[in-house]
């Protein structure tokens, strides 16, 4: 559904005022962030992918390290995935790293084949639809790259923009089309990237989900929710879902010479490409030790003896939580093989630091290093 005629008239009436106030505010209050310097399409792309569902403060150092190691699309495309995942370790949502790497390889291949009649002259395609065809780039990221890197007048709707416009226009549950129509009405053709970035910044630092700093907002007198004193009622909160919890076990299987068994997750699985101490979920009625023995047989075809408990790690993912119990184990029968994994290795304690691991397995790795001292 498009914007109502009344809202269109409201936005058109305040268009110049809104634009001037927002850009003046941004010019004075924009945060000093590393991706706002030496801008290239590639640097904009990397920053936008990292910022998906991740706080600016978290991304800051990761971005600097990543760009130092992979300063160009060519360097990223030439790297192996394991190295890319290692640089991403701890940032979460690892499918972003896999998609970024795959897209870089597609771009480099397109350039080599001289495809798309100059579309890739600036490495990334300067076209919203072409950007969306690349792995890991959705509507928001394509809009952000297109407007910031190529000055293309197109909306970039993230959670911050949704919240700001929901409050300014007093829309409880705006649709994507309504939000795009609203941004388009105020989006200046001469500076679309600056406008989109300023709007996102406004939502991040002023129009916050809780306790918005309305007196600092350049749009305070334009905001219908603020006028009604109901800022936090917009947008309407989504119903909370019950978050499931799982008990999970992991095996630190040791050889007599101290080598440790690790497995690599399949690319199509959650945390694909990351290395882990193999294991899995406990089923109803199982002890955690029995679950670990079953999982190692199903995953790698080996029988293990479960020994002492090493560490318990609790972690919350987006849609579920886990309590992970790690045990020192010994190989009793069979030779490891990949039944439900991508690869496996016997490694030394020193090798643990070189492998990309998720937060939970990295905590186990640190406990293993202490145990083996």
Residues annotated as catalytic (active site), given as ranges: 48
Return the residue matching tokens 């699985």: 269
d(CA 155, CA 149): 13
β strands within the chain, DSSP E: 245-254, 260-264, 275-276, 279-281, 303-316, 321-333, 343-347
Choose among 318, 337, 344, 327: nearest CA to 265.
344
DSSP SS3 for 75: helix
CA 268-366-332 angle, to 5 degrees, is: 70
The structure tokens listed for 59 are: 């991304």
CB 248 within 8 A of CB 281: yes
Torsion, Cα of 286, 287, 293, 294 (10° steps)? 10
CA dist list (Å): 134 to 46, 54, 300: 13, 21, 35
Written in H, E and C, the secondary structure of 292-318 is HHHHHHHHHCCEEEEEEEEEEEEEECC
Instruction: Write b or e for each residue in 95-122: b if 16 or more Cβ atoms lie within 10 A of its Cβ, otherwise e.
Output: ebbbebbbbbbebbebbeeeeeeeebee
């Amino acid at each position: 559904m498009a914007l109502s005629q009344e809202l269109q008239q409201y936005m058109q009436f305040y268009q110049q005022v809104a634009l001037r106030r927002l850009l003046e505010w941004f010019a004075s209050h924009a945060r000093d962030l590393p991706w706002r310097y030496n801008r290239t399409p590639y640097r904009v792309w990397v920053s936008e992918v990292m910022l998906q569902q991740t706080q600016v403060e978290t991304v800051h150092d990761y971005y600097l390290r990543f760009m130092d190691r992979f300063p160009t699309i060519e360097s990223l495309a030439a790297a192996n995935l394991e190295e890319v995942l290692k640089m991403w370790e701890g940032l979460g949502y690892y499918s972003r790293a896999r998609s970024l790497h795959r897209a870089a390889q597609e771009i480099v291949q397109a350039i080599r084949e001289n495809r798309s009649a100059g579309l890739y002259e600036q490495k990334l395609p300067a076209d919203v639809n072409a950007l969306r065809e690349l792995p890991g780039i959705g509507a928001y990221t394509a809009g952000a790259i297109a407007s910031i890197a190529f000055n293309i007048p197109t909306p970039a709707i993230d959670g911050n923009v949704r919240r700001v416009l929901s409050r300014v226009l007093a829309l409880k549950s705006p649709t994507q089309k309504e939000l795009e129509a609203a941004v388009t009405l105020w989006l200046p053709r001469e500076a679309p990237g600056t406008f989109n970035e300023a709007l996102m910044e406004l939502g991040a630092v002023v129009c916050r989900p809780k306790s918005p700093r309305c007196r600092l907002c350049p749009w305070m007198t334009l905001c219908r929710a603020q006028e009604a004193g109901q800022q936090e009622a917009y947008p309407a909160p989504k119903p909370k879902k019950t978050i499931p919890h799982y008990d999970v076990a992991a095996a630190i299987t040791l050889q007599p010479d101290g080598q440790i068994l690790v497995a690599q997750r399949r690319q199509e699985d959650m945390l694909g490409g990351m290395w882990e101490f193999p294991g899995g979920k406990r089923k109803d009625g199982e002890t955690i030790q029995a679950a670990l023995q079953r999982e190692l047989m199903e995953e790698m075809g080996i029988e293990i003896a479960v020994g002492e408990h090493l560490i318990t790690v609790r972690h919350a993912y987006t849609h579920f939580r886990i309590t992970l119990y790690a045990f020192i184990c010994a190989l009793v029968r069979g030779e490891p093989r990949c039944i439900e994994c991508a690869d496996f290795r016997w490694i030394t304690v020193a090798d643990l630091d070189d492998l990309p691991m998720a937060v939970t397995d990295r905590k186990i790795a640190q406990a293993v290093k202490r145990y083996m001292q």
